[in-house]
Amino acid sequence: MAGSITARNLFDDLRQRLRLHWLYGEELDGGYSISRDDLTVRPAAVGFLNLIHPNRVQVLGLEEIGYLDNLEPEELKVTISRMFGSAPLAIIVGDGLKMPEPIFKAGNGGLTALLRSDLRAHELVNYLQYHVSRSLARRTTLHGVFMEVFTIGVLITGNPGCGKSELALELLNRGHRLIADDAPDFTQISPEIIDGTCPEALQDCLEVRGLGVLNVRHMFGDSAVKLNKFLRLIIHLRVPEGAHRSGSGDRLRGDTSTQTVLDLEIPRITLPVMAGRNLAVIAEAAVRDFMLKMKGFDAASEFIERHARLLNGQSGDLKD
């Protein structure tokens, strides 16, 4: 979805899910919209009726309708004027209630859409908040093959011709799953989580040099394809050149670093591509080791501590 959404977008996307009924605004083409910037200011994008910090989408439930019903006519008029004065994208009545007639009359001729739903108001707020934040979340597209390996979302990157697709094909043969080839889309759905999906045009496809485009679903079955996965690890393939061919680097911890994706630091492991190496086995080992580190076990640190104990023991024997 684009960088802003309108009441028409919400209605078209959520009509069945939220059992929405359009009461007013059918002809609106230039109505209000919610932009990505609206997610960073204090008034919430979606919430229950709030006149102090008005929400962009105001939801009315039993309590809100009861509050309005108990207002004196003049006070109700002022309250409704304040509701529409904040230029809400939409006013939605939940709990299967009818839109109060004063609100319907005040909204007639304006740019605010009026909707109602048979769902409970708190369900409307919860789902609308999720939908709006997900639709307007920051997103990017990265070059690589995004796969699920041992339940972990792994992005395989590297220069053209380094063997990304060949590695993905071998991993598929070993029972892992493809999410997206070439241009996976990534969306930041929470402060610490990036979700990766496949563009519709590339769904189920994997391009392998010499073979062309392969349909993974038809070749390996439905279980070989997954719709989305959280990005947890990046495996970068590098063809060594010059001095790097000697295998220089940290022999204990490997070539590990991080890569910034949507301002989040994602762990990255760089694997050298050389003749005779089984990259699929090495990639699986890299993912298994990463999962162990997530659980608190670091093989390199344990190895260093073991040798330190042995050296200290030998020093003690010499002193004796």
pLDDT (average), residues 76-104: 90
What per-residue confidence (pLDDT) applies to 87? 87
pLDDT (average), residues 157-168: 91
Identify residue 166 by its one-letter amino acid code: E
Mean pLDDT of the chain: 87
SS3 66: helix
Q: Is 98 a catalytic residue?
A: no
Percent of residues in the chain assigned helix, strand, coil, to nearest 5:
35, 30, 35
Going by pLDDT thresholds of 50, 70 and 90, the confidence category of residue 312 is: confident
Report the distance separating Cα 93 and Cα 120, nearest Å: 9
> Could you read off the pLDDT of 258-305 as tens digits, one per residue?
999 998 999 999 999 888 889 999 999 999 999 999 999 888 888 888
pLDDT value at 2 more than 60 = no
Going by pLDDT thresholds of 50, 70 and 90, the confidence category of residue 1 is: very low
Q: Is 238 a catalytic residue?
A: no
Going by pLDDT thresholds of 50, 70 and 90, the confidence category of residue 39 is: low
Report the distance separating Cα 144 and Cα 43, nearest Å: 38
pLDDT (average), residues 24-32: 66
pLDDT (average), residues 145-151: 96
Q: Is 295 a catalytic residue?
A: no
The larger pLDDT score, comparing residue 150 to residue 4, is at 150
Going by pLDDT thresholds of 50, 70 and 90, the confidence category of residue 242 is: low
Going by pLDDT thresholds of 50, 70 and 90, the confidence category of residue 317 is: low
> Of 116, 164, 226, 232, which is the active-site residue?
164
The larger pLDDT score, comparing residue 271 to residue 250, is at 271
Going by pLDDT thresholds of 50, 70 and 90, the confidence category of residue 148 is: very high
User: Six-digit token pair at 128?
Assistant: 């609308």
pLDDT value at 243 more than 80 = no
> Of 29, 42, 69, 251, which is the active-site residue?
251
> Could you read off the pLDDT of 111-141 as tens digits, one per residue?
888 999 999 999 999 999 888 888 888 889 9
- Say if CB 25 and CB 113 are below 8 A apart: yes
Report the distance separating Cα 59 and Cα 249, nearest Å: 58
Domain 139-304: what homologous superfamily?
Answer: P-loop containing nucleotide triphosphate hydrolases (3.40.50.300)
- Every domain of the chain with CATH number 3.40.50.300 lies at 139-304
What per-residue confidence (pLDDT) applies to 94? 93
pLDDT (average), residues 207-233: 94
What per-residue confidence (pLDDT) applies to 62? 92
Among 133, 136, 112, which residue's Cα sits nearest to residue 35?
Answer: 136
> Of 105, 143, 288, 306, which is the active-site residue?
143
Q: Is 164 a catalytic residue?
A: yes
What per-residue confidence (pLDDT) applies to 254? 79
- Say if CB 239 and CB 162 are below 8 A apart: yes
> Of 95, 182, 195, 204, which is the active-site residue?
182
pLDDT value at 157 more than 80 = yes
Q: Identify the architecture of domain 4-135 in CATH.
A: 3-Layer(aba) Sandwich (3.40)
Among 172, 189, 119, 136, which residue's Cα sits nearest to residue 283?
Answer: 172
